[in-house]
Amino acid sequence: MEHIGMIGCGVMGKELARNLLQAGYSVYVCDEQSLYREELEREGVTFLPNVATLAEKVERLLLSLPSPKILQDVLLGENGVLAHIKQGSAIFDMGTTDVQTTRLVHKQASAKGVRYLDCPVSGGPAGASTGTLTIMVGGNEADFIVEKPTLQVIGEKLIYVGPAGSGQTVKLCNNMVVAGITSLLSETMISAEEEGVSPHILFDIIQQSSGHNRVIDVFGSNLLEQSFEQVLFYLGHMAKDLELYMDMSRENQTPQPTAAVVNQLYRTALQQKKGKLDSTAVYSVISNKGE
């Protein structure tokens, strides 16, 4: 039975762990703050006390971490993963990380004979639960081919994008588009209501017209019902990703007039303490219903 590890086991991570268990892997997790430890242990997951012990135990390692800084600490520290993981192993970064950090870690992992792929995902907890995530992969193409069977356990659509950092580039661009559409949907909902048109009807017509988008399919209910406590994707996580996108654009000196406005809206939402709400809570900033 192949040993596979996970560092970070939140809403997404617990579903990834379950899919790997069902596929016959022996799954080990390191996450002292996981809310799902007891239920996953009952299902057969083994929790280990630190990343060094985990790295020595497994041949493949999935990371689902909330920030680039935490990722660097976990991987590159004196007692980090790269100091302990076996040569010939593979590491998959399933979270959203900035491109420069991704390339730095990829270089150091490669020097130690470890395959490193940036594998950000789209599809949310529902996709993680059903194993139907879309996975955007950056790294060496030969490594992707070798590790494809593992990724197929947790994802339905695997897309090799290009060299290290390419998967993260696409993910950051995608999330900026999602945030922009969410912001525009919020504005148009308010305009339609002021003219006496139901937002439900507005969304229905948009989905049958040239404005059709998947944001309505995924987040539309939260927008229409303003049920921002029903978290599909934390606003704080979206705001972090938008900042990473803006950092990337600054490095390339590409103008971002529209993205800059969207980024400011999410910054304002964070300032209003909405980080633990769903990302659609940006609606309450636009509607002036924020604190």
Please tell me the pTM assigned to this model: 0.92
In whole angstroms, what is the distance from residue 37 CA to residue 45 CA?
A: 8
Query: Taking residues 186-203, what's their average pLDDT?
Result: 97
In whole angstroms, what is the distance from residue 195 CA to residue 254 CA?
A: 38
In whole angstroms, what is the distance from residue 140 CA to residue 269 CA?
A: 38
Give the number of other CB atoms < 10 A from CB of residue 150: 21
* CA neighbor of 175 nearest in space, from 220, 233, 223: 233
- Residue 23 is predicted with a pLDDT of 93
Contact indicator for 116, 106 with CB cutoff of 8 Å:
yes
Give the number of other CB atoms < 10 A from CB of residue 273: 11
289 pLDDT band, cuts 50/70/90, is low
92 phi, psi to nearest 5 deg: -120, 120
With left for phi above 0 and alpha for psi between -120 and 50, is residue 233 left, alpha or beta? beta
In whole angstroms, what is the distance from residue 277 CA to residue 270 CA?
A: 10
Query: Taking residues 49-60, what's their average pLDDT?
Result: 95
Beta strands (DSSP E) in the chain are 3-7, 26-30, 46-47, 60-63, 90-93, 115-118, 121-122, 133-138, 155-162
pLDDT, one tens digit per residue, over 34-53 is 999 999 999 999 999 999 99
Task: Compute the mean pLDDT over every residue in the chain, rounded to the nearest whole number.
Answer: 94
What domains are defined for the chain? 3-163 (3.40.50.720), 169-286 (1.10.1040.10)
pLDDT, one tens digit per residue, over 112-166 is 999 999 999 988 878 888 888 999 999 999 999 999 999 999 999 999 999 999 9
Which range is least confidently modeled, 78-82, 166-170, 237-241?
78-82
- Residue 55 is predicted with a pLDDT of 96
* Residue 249, token pair as written in the block: 């654009």
Sign of the alpha-carbon dihedral angle for 138, 75, 20, 16: negative
Res. 183: pLDDT tops 90: yes
Residue type, 149: P
216-227 burial, b if ≥16 CB within 10 A, otherwise e? bebbbebbbebe
Res. 231: pLDDT tops 60: yes
Vertex 126: Cα angle to 274 and 33 (nearest 5): 60
In whole angstroms, what is the distance from residue 20 CA to residue 15 CA?
A: 9
Contact indicator for 8, 64 with CB cutoff of 8 Å:
yes
- Residue 13 is predicted with a pLDDT of 87
- Residue 211 is predicted with a pLDDT of 96
Res. 285: pLDDT tops 90: yes
